Every structure is written in structure tokens, then in C-alpha cells.
Amino acid sequence: MERLIGIPRGRMKGSVENSATHRWLTTRVSSAALDLTTDAVTLTRQLVDIESVSRDEQAIADAVEAALAPLPHLTTTRRGNTVVARTDLGHDQRVVLAGHLDTVPVNRNLPSRLDEATGLLHGLGTCDMKGGDAVILRLAATVPEPTRDVTFILYESEEIETEFNGLYRLSQSDPDLMAADFAILMEPSDAVVEAGCQGTLRVEVRTTGERAHSARSWRGVNAIHAAADVLARLAGYEARRPVIDGLTYHEGLNAVGIRGGVAGNVLPDECVVEVNHRFAPDRSEAEAEAFVREFFAGYDVVLTDSAPGALPGLDRPAAAEFVDAVGGGRGAVNPKFGWTDVARFSALGVPAVNFGPGDPMLAHKQEEHVPVEHIERCERVLRTWLGGGTV
């Protein structure tokens, strides 16, 4: 799921760690097997019922590798708990379908539960993003001769720090396995195309003062009061809205935190305003940083985190053909305002889009669920686009 880069989000124990549900799940994991001949919804349930909190993906990676490795039309490679399977048919185009296998910690939302009355599949990871993973696996198994070569990537640890991210590690160890003309990241996008993504950076804007007893405040300088101008500049910010490949991106510059003060009777000598800038993918990280520093000219500005955006690349033939396959043309494509791993492909010169089942607003929530229709639609669209006929 899209996230703010660099925030430490290490593994926490799930709230059902010692519950009967967890004991049941542990039993299921020990003999986990995936049936790639079943329908994508049932396969989603199989994936969801293998607990795979970040840094604990061995069981699910084992199951994915065991399901893909015997398929004769694929070459399967494993790096850690990331599994890559590729066709090699000699086509002049190669595309990547990618999805992460990990989830956030369990929150009383396992095992999976299908509500047939509403057509919703409930459970941890149904939306973010095992519904998309199921589609990837179904296509890998049942489209042996696609009209373009395909690389299927199921990777580990997207939900935590970059150093553990399977795509990041793959880009460092085996960038050739990510090489392609076009990539589709199956993050939840309401089963419509969200192209590229905006970049993100965070800075700390610091004001200084002089400590004094609050009863004699005129003997000091209040650093928190001095931050009023920083906040006023932010309140007056006018968002840049560049059009890229026909898509209108909307930048943002917002205070997301503020800290200062040492005691209830002391004027603070320092105040720090934390600011997040979301910048359109036509700007580099350096250009975005330069803009922020100029915006806060006169203040001490410290960059704490940064990640590049990703251009949509809708002018590439494979991307244009995919948009046509989804239906609705360019008018049905949305810009991606948040950050996702499409940026990792963009850094390698591979244009990428997000296209997956589920509402991204439900990711990480206890009531996470995915419409069955979204899973079926994504599989149907991708199967047709890859020349695999109908389900």
C-alpha cells in the first residue's frame, strides 16, 4: 500500500498472537499449499489464510515458490522471500506484474471470511494486496503463451522500511530481473488504472529563541511564537498542478507535526515544524528539495526523508495498449497522488502503473475487505490483454 517513506514501522505482535485463531492459523501455515487451478477468489482466501506479517513471509514465499517452480513455461528464481517467475518466449515486449506478499500486523481479522450476500471477501491482506497476488498467480499458471513476455514478481516486506523491501533488494542484487518495457503494480486502486505516483519528502523547519521564566517572558524569545510565520507561509501555499501525459497531478505542502517546549513555566528556545511535500513526478528529488528550501528561505531547513516520484509513461506502446484493454481510454486513468513501489521501476527506466482490486482507503484497517467483482475484473482485463482468452 502507498505509504510515507522512511517512517520506521517495524514488526509488532498481532493482537491475536496467543488466541485460538492464531493457533488455528499456525496449523494451517505448517501445511500451506496453493491451488493455482482454482478461481482467483478462492486463491485469494488461500493466500490470506497464510499469515505473512512483514519479516515473517517464509511460509507464504515457500507456498508461492512450490506452486510456481513446477510450471514448465516459467523460469523461477528466489531471493530471500521474494519469488520471480518469467516467461522467455522471445517477444519484443516484456511486462512485469508485481505484488507484495506481506501484511501489516494481525488485528483480529484472520482467517478470511466471504460474505456471499454482499460479494465482499473480508480479512487481513484481502485488499492490500493478496487479491492482486492471487490474480498474478492465476495468470502465471494459466497463460503459458502470453502475447508479450511476462515477469511475475511476488515480493517481501513492502509495508516496512526500504532496507527490507523485496523490490528494493532485487533492484540492487538483480536489476535484470526487473527489466521491462512496462510494469503493473497490483496495489489496490479500485480496479482502475492509477498512473505513476508523486514523490514525497519531509523536512524539519526550525525556529530558535531564548529561554526565560514565563513570568518574565520579556527577558527571552519564544521559539514557538516565532514559528507563526512558518505556519502562515504554509497556509498561503498554492498547490502546483502540472499536467503529465494528460493527467493532472496535485502537489501538497503541509505541516504534519510540531514540537517545542521544555516546561510549563519556561519559554522554549526551539520549535520544530515537520513538513511533508508531495511533488509531481516531473520534478526530481533535488528540484523538490530546492523548492522547499526556497519556500522557507531564512529558516534552518533539514531534509529527513525523500523518495522520487514515477512518471506515468502512458505514451509507451505497452502502457497505451493496457489502458485500452482496461477500457475508457485516457479519461478512465487517474493520477496516483500517494507513493507506491512503481517509483522503484521508474528509477530503472520502466514506466509503471497501479492496477489492482480493492479500495486503497481500506488498507491496514481492521475491517479490510475486497469486492469479489474487483478480483474477477482485474483477472479478466489482464488475461485478455495478455492474450489468454477468457476465464
Residue 15 covered by a domain: no
Residue 103 covered by a domain: yes
pLDDT value, residue 109: 94
pLDDT digits (tens, 9 = 90+) for 335-390: 988 888 999 998 888 888 999 999 998 999 999 999 999 999 999 999 999 997 66
pLDDT value, residue 337: 86
Q: Is the pLDDT of residue 2 over 50?
A: no
Q: What percent of the chain has pLDDT over 90?
A: 77
pLDDT value, residue 8: 33
pLDDT digits (tens, 9 = 90+) for 140-171: 999 999 999 999 999 999 998 889 999 999 99
Q: Indicate the pLDDT class of residue 329, thresholds 50, 70 and 90.
A: low
Nearest to 352 by CA among 333, 370, 378: 333
Q: Is the pLDDT of residue 17 over 50?
A: no
How far is it, in rounded angstroms, from Cα 122 to Cα 127? 9
Task: Find cell 530471500 and name the residue.
Answer: 80
Question: Does 172 share its domain with 204?
Answer: no
Structural domain that includes position 25: 20-196+310-385
CB 74 within 8 A of CB 19: no
348-351 own/partner pairs: CB under 8 Å, 24+ apart: 348/171, 348/175, 348/178, 348/179, 350/96, 350/178, 350/179, 350/180, 350/181, 350/182, 350/183, 351/182, 351/183, 351/196, 351/310, 351/311, 351/312, 351/313, 351/314, 351/316, 351/319
Q: Is the pLDDT of residue 259 over 80?
A: yes
- Which residues carry out catalysis? 102, 158
pLDDT digits (tens, 9 = 90+) for 94-143: 999 999 999 999 999 999 999 999 999 999 999 999 999 999 999 999 99
CATH number, domain of 286, equals: 3.30.70.360
pLDDT digits (tens, 9 = 90+) for 61-89: 999 999 999 999 999 999 999 999 999 99
Q: Is the pLDDT of residue 330 over 70?
A: no
Question: Does 377 share its domain with 272?
Answer: no
List the grid coordinates of 15. 493482537
Q: Indicate the pLDDT class of residue 18, thresholds 50, 70 and 90.
A: very low
Task: Find cell 484472520 and name the residue.
Answer: 110
Question: Does 134 share its domain with 224?
Answer: no
Q: Is the pLDDT of residue 14 over 50?
A: no
155: which strand partners?
A: 100
pLDDT digits (tens, 9 = 90+) for 270-288: 999 999 999 999 999 999 9
Residue 269 covered by a domain: yes
pLDDT value, residue 29: 42
pLDDT value, residue 202: 96
CB 112 within 8 A of CB 122: yes
List the grid coordinates of 83. 519469488
Question: Does 147 share its domain with 246?
Answer: no
Q: Indicate the pLDDT class of residue 3, thresholds 50, 70 and 90.
A: very low
Question: Does 174 share its domain with 322?
Answer: yes
CATH number, domain of 161, equals: 3.40.630.10
Specify the length of the chain in residues: 391
Mean pLDDT across the chain: 90
What secondary structure, in 3-state letters, does the chain show? CCCCCCCCCCCCCCCCCCCHHHHHHHHHHHCCCCCCCCCHHHHHHHHHCCCCECCCCHHHHHHHHHHHCCCCCCEEEEECCEEEEECCCCCCCEEEEEEECCECCCCCCCCCEEECCCCEEECCCHHHHHHHHHHHHHHHHHCCCCCCEEEEEEECCCCCCHHHCHHHHHHHHCHHHHCCCEEEECCCCCCCCEECECEEEEEEEEEECECCEHHHHHHCECHHHHCHHHHHHHHCCCCCCCEECCEECCCEEEEEEEEECCCCCECCCEEEEEEEEEECCCCCHHHHHHHHHHHCCCCEEEEEEEECCECCCCCCHHHHHHHHHHCCHHHHCEECCCCCCHHHHHHCCCCEEECCCCCHHHCCCCCCEEEHHHHHHHHHHHHHHCCCCCC
How far is it, in rounded angstroms, from Cα 198 to Cα 335? 9
354 residue type, one letter: N
pLDDT value, residue 185: 95
Q: Is the pLDDT of residue 24 over 90?
A: no
Residue 5 covered by a domain: no
List the grid coordinates of 266. 519556561
Question: Does 174 share its domain with 212?
Answer: no
pLDDT digits (tens, 9 = 90+) for 126-135: 999 999 999 9
User: Domain ends where: 307, 327, 360?
Assistant: 307
pLDDT digits (tens, 9 = 90+) for 169-186: 999 999 999 999 999 999
Domain count, the chain: 2
pLDDT value, residue 325: 85
Q: What angle do CA 59, 64, 68 make, to 5 degrees?
A: 150
User: Domain ends where: 307, 329, 353?
Assistant: 307
